[in-house]
Structure 1
Amino acid sequence: MLICGIKTTHDGGVALIDDGRLVFSYEMEKLNNNHRYAKIEDLSIVFDLLIEHGYRPEDVDHYVLDGWFKTHKVLSWQGQEVEITLAPYRRGLIDTDVLRPYSFQTQDLSYLSFTHYAGHVASGYVTSPFAQAGQGSYVLSWDGWMFPFLYYIDGETRQVTSCGPVMPLIGEAYNQLGSLFPPFDEPIEYPHVLAQAGKIMAYVALGQAREEVIEHLGNVTEAAFRHVLGAGRDDDHFYTVENGKKILKEMKKTTAVQGVSADDMLTSLHVFLQRKLVEGVRRVVAESPFPDRNLVVVGGCALNIKWNSALRDSEVFDHVWVPPFPNDAGSALGTASAAMLSQSDRASLSWNVYSGPPLNAPDPLPSWKQQPCTLEDLALILHEQDEPVVFLNGLAELGPRALGNRSILAPAGSAKMKDLLNEYKERASYRPVAPICLQERAPEVFAPGSPDPYMLFDHQVRAEWVDRVPAICHLDGTARLQTVTAEENQAIFQLLTAYEALSGIPLLCNTSANFNGSGFFPDVRSAMEWGRIRLIWSDGTLYVRGE
């Protein structure tokens, strides 16, 4: 069965599944330096990508569109405007069948659509190791305009059961309540506001969690929930986007605590939401009859590495899995996964995180010199010259985080390197720089240092390593670690191995290679036009900016 998933709204993308195998998943922002969160305005890109990969558009068994707030959307197709009807955004919360398909017809195109929520739930499970092993799993889905709901997917029957809401706060609570306090109280235009939550997560390292504030926030949440609930029944039908907005509106009136600094308020808010999340999950699981203690975490809130770590450390579950695309960057793949689960007999997907767009052919600027350069040669340059390099290799990563193929890599031995990289990236000074580390050496440098190939958990930098790799230490002594094996990324593994042999350090700094406000660089020329780093490595060639 050939399934093509499409997300037309922000974080637009196209994904293709062929008999349970992911062929590709392209986010629009990763094509031609498109802006972050780019939409699909012209459906012809879908058919162009199919043909590019050797498929005929008429061979697709199911075109599947991700659901959204507005159920109608006008797009261009074959030079004409067509009105596309989408499934609802979040009806999966109150529908007895989360994976219920909606069927539509426009022009000559027949297609299915699933709720946005269904896509998150489906993509998280089918890509998980639990699905690969035929095991059941809980799925926690918490997105910006959704309440956190817990589901259970049976590994044999693929039946999805709703276990209910975890707590009465939509994911936007983190952004909207956090935006009451400096430095996040300045208005931000859409779509840049979508990056606000990640900035808050980094900033909370500056403050201290205060128990009296956490208690106050609990009281404010309960009061707002009861105010909005009124005389209504507290069941799944209460958990609508509209009620979520009303709860936040009530909370904003009394969130701040007099005499408490903005930094401490933000950190207390973070810890309050983290505790509520863990407490709620613990409660719902205790009331559920399912034996498996596996958890999949999806939705935009699953990009919060500290919350993921708290769930992992809660001992409620034996195993916790977060895909590298838990947010809307994975929604094209997600809606295709929902179709695979509901329209075929497959429950697991064969996939690779490096299934994004290939690099465009090199078209170097004449002012840049080029020379052959092995990965061992590059390791020596990094060790001896102690400067960053743009590293472009193979297919792009899925999801919002550079995982080695569209990265800026740099030695981590100087604290100044973090400041330099943030300056190059035009980011605030409090933003951390992530380490990319050999998996076998990670436990020596980090606690726990367990395998983390997609940068989705929090790790403490061990005391004896803090002075050796200060560039990757966050303000609270943690790091957003990415571990690497030879099987996961041969080129990065080879580079890190060679670099460790020279320096004794099994890691490098890793941040994304892109124009500010755009997706990853699609080619070497883009990195040259950006021009802030004088070294670019790609496919065995080193490009050096002319002085």
Structure 2
Amino acid sequence: MFVLGVNDCFHDNSAALVCDGELVCSIEDERLDRIKHTAGICWGGEPPYGSIEWCLNEAGVKPDQIDAVAYSVDMNAYLALEQLAKSIIFSYKKMSLKNILKLRFARKDLNAGFLQGLTYGYFVKRKRFLREMRRRFPNARFFDVKHHLAHAASAFRLSGFDRANIIVVDGLGERYSTSLYVGEGNVISAPIRQYTYTQSLGAMYKNITFYLGFGYFQEGKTMGLSAYGEFDERFANVVNVSDGEYKVDLNAIKKLGKYARYDGELLKTHKDIAMTLQTQLERIGVALAKTLYERTGYRNLCLGGGVALNCCMNSAILNSPYVDHIYVQPAAMDNGTALGAAMEGYARLGFESKSHMSHVYWGPEFENDEIEAEIVRSGLPYRRSEDICRDVARLLVDQKIVGWFQGRMEIGPRALGARSILADPRSPEMKDRVNIVKSRELWRPLAPSILEERVDDWFENAYPSPFMNLNLFFKAGVKEKVPSVVHADGSARVQTVSRHTNPLYHRLISEFEKLTGVPIVLNTSFNTRGEPIVCTPAEGLRTFKVTGMDYLAIGDFIVERGG
């Protein structure tokens, strides 16, 4: 039974294909169209036809073989809003945009309706898309999966847990921004607790991120900045936490803007705001985990939604008394809802829909013949390596920055050893060198990839982190050995590398350990600022050319800089 999961509505357009309850492949539109966080229909973009076609071609499946298509949004929840949008457009059609904006900001109750009014045209576009999908997949059943349920399914149904509590936190899904569920066997419960969009933790974090001078989808910068700051009670009232509940204070967020206003320099105030906001978010995460634990007694926890990319929050939850085991969906943003919709769709067909997504390598892969042809076209000097892992380990020891392009591409926002830029973490200068290559701010941290079997030797409260979604603290006496991957507070966003899920990357790090005694390499994503991670050999070669990397290890070949 083939089920196609589709995320088409908000951002990070994507598709996923499941066969008999097992993930076959998945991809995000941004990997194909090279537009980071490709917008969905309701954000003014187009349907994810590229991702859908890639999944079909990758699996060798014809459209008439698809048994079900599952969307990661319930458009029935939007029907009332569609009618509201129509009425708003009718009321406003003779008004100038200037006057509409005045009216909007004068009357807060119009805000949501105004935004829906602006997007009314997208209802029309989406209906057209749904008609085309029914024509394209004539034998399929079609399911609408509520957005937060799709997030929940992407985490629980792929966690390997039989029973678990589930937390979904994002900006907005239909009407809700935080949802709590329980997963038992093949069933995900109705929501136990939900918070509406006015209490959105994702929106709160986004707004503070804007105040600090960062842009869309740059909440990770705020999290990174927090390590340089101190908790300040003056800023804590943006969100209040008590008795397992939280309340976002919209007025406090607006007032905070005058303190956070960015004029080209990050001050202590900015750092303290980031730390205070981060601390409050972590407290909320623990409070939500406590609420679920007290209800069920379960110590397994699954996390989904864009806020689940906050590895500091995830670790605070894991280290709380309410959680023993955690699974964070690696494609936690809307890209992962295609996975969840597909798994939930399979369950709705009446089948057991449980699996364990132990790796992220579900994207495109390229043969050596294709790779060599692209290298020849690039005109760059290259050679075939007899042992790519040994040769790259030696380059890293020689203080070279190496692009690493191997195997099937990752899904989700993290480079996890398939499309990575690698360097020697022992060099104090390497952090700045790599940040310059990436055109990143020099204060931003870089991540370590460590052999899974060595993590206990290097980190406190060690826990497997194959998707780089936990923040661990180095043990005393070892962080001095790898200064380029140690953040300001002595922590790191860690990737643990298993020989079972990525044997080539594991062997590379093992070769590096043989030469240095250190089972860690510095790892960051293979892209330049503002671009998605490279997908194809041509993109990898182009990015290699325009950055300051020294070598590119792509397939069995090592490419050098020309000239």
User: Smaller-chain TM-score range?
Assistant: 0.7 to 0.9
Matched position secondary structure for 1:378 = helix
Asked if 1:415 corresponds to 2:428, the answer is yes
2:67 is matched with which residue: 19, 36, 61? 61
Match of 2:20 in 1: 19
Which residue type is aligned with residue 158 of structure 1?
V
1:83 is matched with which residue: 128, 138, 154? 128
**Equivalences for residues 324-363 of structure 1 within 5 A:** 324-349=330-355, 351=357, 352-359=359-366, 361-362=370-371, 363=374
In the TM superposition, residue 56 of structure 1 has moved relative to its aligned partner by 0.9
Asked if 1:426 corresponds to 2:439, the answer is yes
Asked if 1:263 corresponds to 2:271, the answer is yes
Aligned residues of 1:375 and 1:494 also touching (Cα < 8 A): no
Aligned residues of 1:14 and 1:25 also touching (Cα < 8 A): yes
Match of 1:490 in 2: 503
In the TM superposition, residue 453 of structure 1 has moved relative to its aligned partner by 0.7
Q: Alpha-carbon deviations, 1:95-148, whole Å to 9, x = none?
A: xxxxxxxxx956875632222112101111111020xxxx21110000112432
2:229 is matched with which residue: 189, 207, 210? 207
Q: Alpha-carbon deviations, 1:183-214, whole Å to 9, x = none?
A: 44xxx4xxxx1x22111111111111134543
Match of 1:162 in 2: 191
Match of 2:559 in 1: 543
Match of 1:296 in 2: 302
In the TM superposition, residue 302 of structure 1 has moved relative to its aligned partner by 0.4
2:528 is matched with which residue: 490, 497, 515? 515
CA, structure 1 residues 412+51, in 2 after alignment: closer, same or farther (shift >3 Å)?
Answer: closer
Match of 2:97 in 1: none
Aligned residues of 1:369 and 1:546 also touching (Cα < 8 A): no
CA, structure 1 residues 75+58, in 2 after alignment: closer, same or farther (shift >3 Å)?
Answer: farther
Identity of matched residues, %: 27
Query: What is the distance in 2 between the residues matched to 1:108 and 1:213?
Result: 52
CA, structure 1 residues 175+248, in 2 after alignment: closer, same or farther (shift >3 Å)?
Answer: farther
Aligned residues of 1:5 and 1:336 also touching (Cα < 8 A): yes
Gaps of at least 5 residues in structure 2 are 79-118, 261-267
Query: What is the distance in 2 between the residues matched to 1:258 and 1:422?
Result: 28
Matched position secondary structure for 2:337 = helix
Query: What is the distance in 2 between the residues matched to 1:514 and 1:44?
Result: 24
CA, structure 1 residues 390+32, in 2 after alignment: closer, same or farther (shift >3 Å)?
Answer: farther
> Bigger shift: 365-374 or 531-540?
365-374
CA, structure 1 residues 71+323, in 2 after alignment: closer, same or farther (shift >3 Å)?
Answer: farther
CA, structure 1 residues 107+52, in 2 after alignment: closer, same or farther (shift >3 Å)?
Answer: closer
Match of 2:290 in 1: 282
1:447 is matched with which residue: 460, 466, 474? 460
Query: What is the distance in 2 between the residues matched to 1:477 and 1:420?
Result: 20
Aligned residues of 1:445 and 1:462 also touching (Cα < 8 A): yes
CA, structure 1 residues 434+391, in 2 after alignment: closer, same or farther (shift >3 Å)?
Answer: same
Query: What is the distance in 2 between the residues matched to 1:275 and 1:301?
Result: 14
Matched position secondary structure for 1:3 = strand
Match of 1:100 in 2: none
Matched position secondary structure for 1:480 = strand
Which residue type is aligned with residue 420 of structure 1?
R
> Bigger shift: 385-394 or 531-540?
531-540
Asked if 1:51 corresponds to 2:57, the answer is yes
Match of 1:378 in 2: 391
1:124 is matched with which residue: 149, 155, 158? 155
CA, structure 1 residues 301+14, in 2 after alignment: closer, same or farther (shift >3 Å)?
Answer: same
CA, structure 1 residues 11+23, in 2 after alignment: closer, same or farther (shift >3 Å)?
Answer: same
Match of 1:139 in 2: 166
Aligned residues of 1:383 and 1:502 also touching (Cα < 8 A): no
Match of 1:524 in 2: 537
Matched position secondary structure for 1:408 = strand
Matched position secondary structure for 1:112 = strand
**Equivalences for residues 182-201 of structure 1 within 5 A:** 182-184=212-214, 188=215, 193=216, 195-201=217-223
Gaps of at least 5 residues in structure 1 are 87-103, 223-234
CA, structure 1 residues 449+517, in 2 after alignment: closer, same or farther (shift >3 Å)?
Answer: same
> Bigger shift: 509-518 or 118-127?
509-518
Which residue type is aligned with residue 330 of structure 1?
G
CA, structure 1 residues 120+497, in 2 after alignment: closer, same or farther (shift >3 Å)?
Answer: same
2:418 is matched with which residue: 395, 405, 426? 405
CA, structure 1 residues 253+409, in 2 after alignment: closer, same or farther (shift >3 Å)?
Answer: closer
Matched position secondary structure for 1:422 = helix
Superposition TM-score, scaled by structure 2 size = 0.79
Query: What is the distance in 2 between the residues matched to 1:73 and 1:256?
Result: 32
Query: How many residue pairs get matched?
Result: 487
Query: What is the distance in 1 between the residues matched to 2:276 and 2:328?
Result: 25
Query: What is the distance in 2 between the residues matched to 1:251 and 1:300?
Result: 23
CA, structure 1 residues 22+72, in 2 after alignment: closer, same or farther (shift >3 Å)?
Answer: farther
CA, structure 1 residues 75+22, in 2 after alignment: closer, same or farther (shift >3 Å)?
Answer: farther
Aligned residues of 1:293 and 1:316 also touching (Cα < 8 A): yes
Query: What is the distance in 2 between the residues matched to 1:7 and 1:48?
Result: 14
Asked if 1:459 corresponds to 2:459, the answer is no
In the TM superposition, residue 172 of structure 1 has moved relative to its aligned partner by 1.1
